[in-house]
A and B are shown apart, each in its own frame.
Chain A
Amino acid sequence: MTEYVTSALFVHTEDTTHLIKPLQNNSLGTQITSVAFDTLTQAPQEHLEGVAHVVVAGPLDVIKEILRLAMKHQFSIGIIPTKKQKHLIKFYDLPKNPSAAVELALRQDGQTMDLILCNGKIMLFKAAIGRIPFLDTPAKASWIQILLNSLRKFVSFRLYTFKFGTAGKQEIDTAASGCMILQHFRGSFASRLISHDHSLTDGMASLVISAPISIIAYVKLLRQALRSSTRFKKLPSSIGYIKSPQIDIEPETRLEVFIDDQHATHTPLHCEAIAKAVHVNVGKNLRVESSSAKASKEKIDIKNLPREKELFKAKKQRRIPFFSYASDERFHDLFPALREDARLNNIYLVLMVLSTMLATVGLYLSSASVIIGAMLLAPLMAPIVSLSMGILRGNIELFKDSIGKIVLGILIALLSSALITLLFPHKPITDEMLARLNPTLLDLAVAIISGIAAAYSKSFKEIIQSLAGVAIAVALVPPLAVAGIGIGRWDFQFFYQAFLLFSTNLVGIIISATFTFRVLGYSAAVRSRRSLAVVFIFLVLISIPLYLTYSRIVEDRVFEKSWQQERFLVNEKYLIIVKASIIWRGDKRIILMDILAREPLTREDLTAFKRKIQANFSKKLIIRLNTFHIP
């Protein structure tokens, strides 16, 4: 059976005077005396003498002051929360309904609880230091405020060096963006990141330390916390956890400390848990949790925090990078391979000659399968990827070796295909060659995507076999072979168009692979900026003809499509355009048409047809017809 206190002192503020009457008229047999908080603080001794139970309603600082007095005068406390004190309701598991809250506040069975004092100030929910975006946001803040506040913190997101001390005399040197003292997991987003073995009765304070290696890693952490409905079995990366009766926090510089969302003090901070400090009437669930809580020992889990070498790196780096660094293991796997790829050797030279020869013959045969075979055989992709890393890391040796290997490869390819062309008595221009003479911005897009794929595949051993697909997609050797054929034919336009396609692929891959390695964390920044600038200038220069070709192709496609809605009446003969396509021979624009006609077309008809086309389309078109007869 529930027992209620026989008498209680009700401490109110101006906002909570309306509760005096309901309390005094309670049907639980409790006699209520009321006092205003201001009056009480003027002479606490006088008002609290002989008082065994205090009921309080008011702002958080008033409740905290009553808790402080309770420690001194040993009375139990009942709290009547206002509707707006959602955090308090959740924390103490209090009823939202005012009459239920009154009923709970007047009970006699208060729960013994710890209190945490930080630099002498009472902390109920949390104390935040430094920058822990989204986790340290005030409970009352709106979503927009949380977002803006967190974004502002991300702008100056950095690591501070911290020294943490515990009651067990442990001293931990590390770097962190910020940390947060928690008393209990209820009502705290940050507490989702740690195991829920801390309670209000274990005589411990919990410290969550955030040390993300990058903003991306931190966002991933937040996402994990948001999606997690159950507790984490182990601490997420970038998070450290200390549980101790006493925690000392001393960062390198003085940082402000926000206790329960209010600016309260600054570092150095000393927090201690006062075990069994007060008796508070809490909700049923919290009572069950507290009674089942076991006494615990000091706990330190800091394996995810920067130590020693990493701490030194963090001290140097200051700002938290946007992308994470690649792990040492990945570095060690990749670099020897890239260095090897950049070195010139006989295998490369032989493969380069063979792949170009194969591509050239395949182009003359107009055989897609032979050309694809040449793409797979071509070894050109490897030094290009090495060159990207050389640019990123500012590694001169890697850079020079790769450049030398690429240039030599290009020369060999041009020479091989030009020689084969000179040797061939018959030099037809095949469709496979034509397909490589009109590079557009879309080819640049293919090269960029392929460069990303190449760098990504190269970075992970598990997917290295995907490089074959990348080689086919970007097709480096066939355009070079076509350019060589252009040299063999002494056709500069031929050479220029094909070499433009090759250059597009080359520049696209270099740039995208460089940035992919950057994103994958192989360097904090692009070191060889001058090299990158040169590649960018090439990119811009190449983009101009690519753009012009692209817009010409778009214009041609629109023009071709519009012809499907054109009909001609020529000398009483009705001509239906079934299909029209535009091709270019140098600067000459040719329209190839498939037309349906009932009668055969005479020379006179064709002349009249041509005249009509030229009269109605301002562009000078060369017309080629393929006629199908309607029987």
Chain B
Amino acid sequence: MKNLVHLSILIIFVFWLGGCDQKPAIEPSGKTIKVGIIAPFSGSDHSKGKEGLKGMETAMQLQPYLQNGDHIELVAENDKDDPALTVKLLKKLVKEVKVSAIITFSSTSPVLAMAKVADEYRTPILAALATHPDTTKHNGFISQLCFDDDFQGTVAALFVRDDLLIDKVAVFSNPGSVYSSHLAAQFESKFKSIGGEVTDTVSLTEETGDLSKVIKSVHDNTPELFYLPISAKDLVRVVREVRKLDWKPKMMGSDGLISTMLAQHNNEIDLVDGMLATDFFAHGMPLTPFGKRARGKYLEKYTSTRTLYAALGIEGYAILLNAMNRCSDPADRECINKQIRSTTNFTGMIGNITIGPNGKAQRPLTINSIQGGRSKFIFKVY
């Protein structure tokens, strides 16, 4: 009998301890707050939109309600990465759907188009992938979830020079892409400023004529590394020509390149084995507790490869909710925008994210490489 009493006390104590850790359940208020998503869901960049949305839906499962019980409804629009269409959809989401905030997975050009009219619509826009530094310039409503290209280009140049100890590089860029040309210019400028030599600057477009001739000419100047802030499709073109010469210079790409290669050019992944790239995440990196929970939830629903777009979707949703929760009226656009821009040390998937009043994010950048058909973490840069 005495033992039974002791056992009962122990069980009650254990349950009481367990209960201490549980947060009270949120009671739904019945009110819905709409969040818009503008992203390419078709075309060559469709994976950005589709994977980003998967990430947001995953985060939504973790946090379906705001702390006041309001429910979040996602309204997704396909801009096909076309700047004109992006602006139209922004207008639609703000004026007709009346969203309180927007997350975009579009690339730099469409987001720069939005930047011109963002202040007019006075709706907070969180750009998940647009790394161009001008994204946040000249407007008070677009904030970046990602690091910007000034940081990315500088880090890439310093890494090549100081970590890889390489002093001769060739830089490739696509003049048709604001993102590509800006990043290439940033890299080139920084690399030269620290005593590096840029042997060739190659402009690469669909119309670039005899690429093999171009690569041959680059080969003659003996660069040790190619800096390639270009699309996955262009990368494959370049690498094919390089391999024809039985030449294996080091290569370094920029954010999203490894993800796109893995998602859309997996059959040619061996071509780029050993390639380095700056990025947001890497396979096998230590995750934060939030990252582990989100990853677990994602894997419950999706069996496909986990991409950086999905991870950014998870982080974007969580930051947005965090900002809304800090507003007395979570649907208040002005307040949400202010709170997004005062996000401090928010725990993301792999580390802390801070978004300053200028809309720029401070977050760790990773340097990864493709090894054996997988992305491998090399360094983290704060």
Contact = CB atoms under 8 A, between A and B. Distances in A.
Interface of A: 562, 565-569, 572, 574, 576, 596, 598, 612-613, 615-616, 630
30 contacts: A565-B377, A565-B378, A565-B379, A565-B380, A566-B379, A566-B380, A567-B159, A567-B163, A567-B367, A567-B379, A567-B380, A567-B381, A567-B382, A568-B381, A569-B158, A569-B382, A572-B154, A574-B154, A574-B155, A574-B159, A598-B162, A612-B382, A615-B345, A615-B352, A615-B354, A615-B362, A616-B351, A616-B352, A616-B364, A630-B162
Interface string B346-382: 0000011010000000101001000000000111111
B194 interface: yes
Contact residues of A: prevailing secondary structure: mixed
Contacts, number: 48
Interface of B: 151, 154-155, 158-159, 162-163, 194, 286, 345, 351-352, 354, 362, 364, 367, 377-382
A568 B154 contact: no
Contacts of B382: 566-569, 612-613, 616
A576 to B, nearest CB: 6
B93 to A, nearest CB: 33
A574 B380 contact: no
Contacts of A612: 382
Considering residues A565, A567, A598, which has the most beta carbons from chain B within 10 angstroms of its beta carbon? Answer: A567
Nearest to B378: A565
A631 to B, nearest CB: 10
Contacts of A613: 382
A574 to B, nearest CB: 4
A-B complex: 4 closest residue pairs judged by Cβ atoms: A574-B158, A567-B381, A612-B382, A568-B382
A562 B379 CA distance: 10
Contacts of B158: 569, 574, 598
Contacts of A568: 381-382
Nearest to B365: A569
A101 B155 CA distance: 91
Considering residues A562, A565, A576, A612, which has the most beta carbons from chain B within 10 angstroms of its beta carbon? Answer: A565
Contacts of B378: 565
Contacts of A572: 154
Contacts of A576: 162-163
A243 B160 CA distance: 89
Nearest to B354: A615
A615 B346 CA distance: 10
A569 B155 contact: yes
B162 A574 contact: yes
Given A574-B155, A615-B362, A616-B351, 5 more contacts: A568-B382, A576-B163, A598-B194, A613-B382, A630-B162
A532 B377 CA distance: 52
B147 to A, nearest CB: 10
Nearest to B151: A569
Contacts of B154: 569, 572, 574
A572 B345 CA distance: 21
Nearest to B362: A615
Contacts of B351: 616
A566 B367 CA distance: 10
Contacts of B159: 567, 574
A320 B381 CA distance: 67
A565 B369 CA distance: 14
A613 B380 CA distance: 13
A598 B158 CA distance: 9
A114 B304 CA distance: 82
Contacts of B364: 616
Considering residues B151, B162, B194, which has the most beta carbons from chain A within 10 angstroms of its beta carbon? Answer: B162
Nearest to A573: B158
A613 B378 CA distance: 19
A565 B366 CA distance: 10
A442 B352 CA distance: 35
